[in-house]
Chain A
Amino acid sequence: MADKRTTVDDAVAELRDGMTVGIGGWGSRRKPMAAVRAILRSPVKDLTVVSYGGPDVGLLCAAGKVRRVVFGFVTLDSIPFDPHFSRARENGDVEVTEYDEGMFGLALQAAAQRLPFLPTRAGLGSDVPRFSPHLRTVRSPYPDGEELLAVPAQPLDVAFVHLNRADARGNAQYLGPDPYFDDLFCLAAQRRFVSAERVVSTAELTEGGPVQSLLLNRSVVDGVVEAPGGAHFTTAAPDYGRDERFQKHYVDSAKDPERWPSFVDRFLSGDEAGYRAEVDRFAAEAVA
């Protein structure tokens, strides 16, 4: 059976300029941050980023990687706004496709099911169709005759998701409270990479949690990356919660263009091992 283990940099090396990239998780929760950091290190640009947005979106915007964001929100949960995303929007640096949260899920689901669109009420009467003039409505062929919004499929070139456990073949497991939309991101994408806190034997997956926690089977995964701390500073409960002190440091640095370069120097200029070492040092400073 195929061993799909790879490195986060090799996975990201598959990206090409202009690709559409799906990023799993939700807000500042179980984001594939190791993959995001690898994208920051790579030369790729002009990405369309599809995300229930958190710091992934802000960081990629700040690094000039993004042409368009497809989103329903960008938030850090315990802190409402990501300063980088705000600045990118307010400077007009990125284009956006702004959907209702439910529409966003349907766009992935339509792509996953190889359908051209899925109908919904969500979006009708709002400014979502005004800002996205490509959207069309569809009339029910049944006697009710309701005219609904037809959310077009949102296929992805590449999807990155971060789960708690995976085996080397790409079966992957979430152990926290919420699967988010990670399976849909993978089903909607041509190439699918899962990073995990730990890569374990297949038998250890069901030893560690109920079978319903096996969110991804190997048919929808092309590459497996072992990335301990790979969701940091977002939560990957129960392995770890959100690093609120670090998130606040990120926001304080991002707010101030004078301070941001030193954050980049310290945390984002090296590889993932360097990032983890600096995060450990940052945590030790709080205790000292």
Chain B
Amino acid sequence: MNDVTRAEIAVVAVAELFRGDGEIVASPMGTVPSLGARLARATFEPGLLLSDGQAYLVDGDGTVEGWQPFRRMLDTIVPHGTRHVVMGANQIDRFGNQNISAIGEHSRPAKQLLGVRGAPGNTVNHRTSYWVPRHATRVFVDSVDVVAGVGYDNAAKAGAAAQRFHDVHRVVTDLGVFDFGGPDHVMRALSLHPGVTTAEVAEATSFPVETAAAGTTRMPTAHELQLIREVLDPEAVREKEVRS
């Protein structure tokens, strides 16, 4: 399996985010997160509900099993908490605050991005993970310009109502898998992808990251590789999202 790509390892790492989630709505944003969610559903987490990106919940073969328009998502699924979202991030800080809104001063940004979208509501209502295809200091910053997704420090400052269901779970990048289990909920490495060094992670992160206890991200099984390559992503779109 020497020919396994970094993208394929990342797909499996994202799939692992959903392990144990059961019958909840998985909402992956991006190619690798979508493949990861579909891989988890096709293997060890068959209960997951998957959106088609529009208004339908669909089985692995595309059979529609449910209706979930945007308003139902925001009125019931998000506040009810039966969801695990994997969002992208233009910036993330050591406490898990995430920015997809704008770079620079909010009143007149240097770069307008999407807006906060559903990130504030997602992060205080249900499990949230992040996917960063290119781990770099411009993403992993000392302080985010706009708090869209709420990190552990800001949830604590906002009080019990913000903390009650707050659950920023993991960050998967092209270098490794991270959580916020360090002292005061700071980001730490859980595993580095095969071949990645601690120096690489340190160089690509603006704040210190504890890597001493990190293991190595597991390799895809032969069955998982076959599913990724032949069933889920035969066009290899994943390779465009992650450099090898």
A contact set with B: CB distance below 8 Å: 26, 52-53, 71-75, 80-81, 85-86, 89-92, 98-103, 105, 120-128, 130-131, 146-148, 177-181, 184
Give the distance to chain B from A56, nearest Cβ to Cβ, in Å: 14
Per the bound structure, the CA–CA distance linking A156 and B54 in Å amounts to: 27
Which of A73, A92, A179 has a CB less than 8 Å from the CB of B115?
A73
Instruction: Tell me if B71 and A180 are in contact (CB < 8 A).
Output: yes
Cα A52 to Cα B148 in complex, Å, equals 17
B205 adjacent to chain A (CB < 8 Å): no
- Could you say which of A103, A128, A130 has the most chain B C-beta atoms within 10 Å of its C-beta? A128
Q: Is the CB of B121 within 8 A of A80?
A: no
Residue B101 CB within 8 A of the other chain: yes
- What residue of chain A has the Cβ atom nearest to residue B160's Cβ? A146
CA distance A102 to B78 in the complex (A): 9
**A90 near B110 (CB under 8 angstroms)?**
yes
Cβ of B147: which chain A residues have Cβ within 8 Å of it? 125-127, 130
- Complex interface: stretch among B19-27, B151-159, B184-192, B236-244: B151-159
A-B contact number at CB 8 A = 143
Q: How far is the CB of B224 from chain A (nearest CB, A)?
A: 29
Known A131-B106, A178-B55; contact A101-B161, beta-carbon cutoff 8 A = no
CB distance from A25 to the nearest CB of B (A): 11
Residues of B within 8 A of A (CB): 54-56, 67, 69-71, 74-75, 78-79, 101-102, 106-121, 123-125, 146-150, 154-155, 157-162, 164-166
Instruction: Point out the residue from A91, A126, A146 that lies within 8 Å of B119, measured CB to CB.
Output: A126
Cβ-defined contact, A73 with B108, below 8 A: no
B46 to chain A, nearest CB (A): 25
Whether the Cβ atoms of A124 and B111 lie closer than 8 Å is no
A contact residues around B55 at 8 Å (CB): 177-178
Chain A contacts for B102, CB-based, 8 A = 89
Residue numbers in A under 8 Å from B121 (CB-CB): 100-103, 120-123
**Cα distance, A190 to B155, chains bound together (Å):** 38
Q: Pick the 5 closest A-B CB pairs, nearest first.
A: A122-B121, A125-B158, A177-B55, A73-B115, A126-B120
- Interface-centre pick from A92, A99, A121, A184 (highest chain B CB count, 10 A): A121
Given known contacts A71-B115, A105-B74, A177 and B69 CB-to-CB distance under 8 angstroms: yes
Q: Are B157 and A90 touching (Cβ within 8 A)?
A: no
What distance in Å separates the Cβ of A101 from its nearest Cβ neighbour in chain B? 4
> Can you list 21 A-B contacts (CB < 8 A)?
A73-B115, A81-B114, A90-B111, A90-B112, A92-B107, A92-B108, A99-B116, A100-B120, A102-B74, A102-B118, A105-B71, A121-B162, A122-B79, A124-B155, A124-B158, A125-B158, A126-B150, A146-B161, A177-B67, A181-B70, A184-B71
Bound-state CA distance A74–B101 (Å) is 10
Contact B117 A124 (CB under 8 A): no
Known contacts: A73-B115, A85-B112. The answer to whether A122 contacts B124 by CB under 8 A is yes
Question: CA–CA, A100 to B158, complex, Å?
Answer: 16
* Chain B hits for A105, CB < 8 A: 71, 74-75
Cβ contact within 8 Å between A180 and B109: no
B131 to chain A, nearest CB (A): 15
In the bound assembly, the distance between CA atoms of A201 and B178 in angstroms comes to 59
Contacts of A89 in B (CB 8 A): 102, 108-109, 112
How many angstroms between the C-alpha atoms of A102 and B109 in the bound complex? 23
B69, B111, B116, B166 pick with most chain A CB within 10 angstroms = B116
Q: A81-B113, A100-B119 are in contact. Are A124 and B70 (CB under 8 A)?
A: no
Chain B's closest residue to A119 (CB) is B161
Residues of chain A within 8 A (CB-CB) of B118 are 72, 100-102, 122
Residues of A within 8 A of B71 (CB): 105, 179-181, 184
Q: Given the known A-B contacts A125-B155, A146-B161, are A100 and B112 also in contact in the complex, defined by CB atoms under 8 Å? A: no
Chain B residues, CB < 8 A from A122:
78-79, 118, 120-121, 124-125
CB distance from A186 to the nearest CB of B (A): 14
Residue from B70, B115, B146, B150 in contact with A74 in the complex, judged by beta carbons closer than 8 Å? B115
Known: A121-B124, A122-B124, A178-B69. A147 touches B116 (CB 8 A): no
Given contacts A90-B112, A126-B149, list 17 more A-B pairs with CB under 8 A.
A72-B117, A89-B112, A92-B107, A98-B101, A103-B121, A122-B78, A123-B121, A125-B150, A126-B123, A126-B154, A127-B101, A128-B116, A130-B147, A146-B160, A147-B159, A148-B161, A180-B69
Q: How far is the CB of B7 from chain A (nearest CB, A)?
A: 21
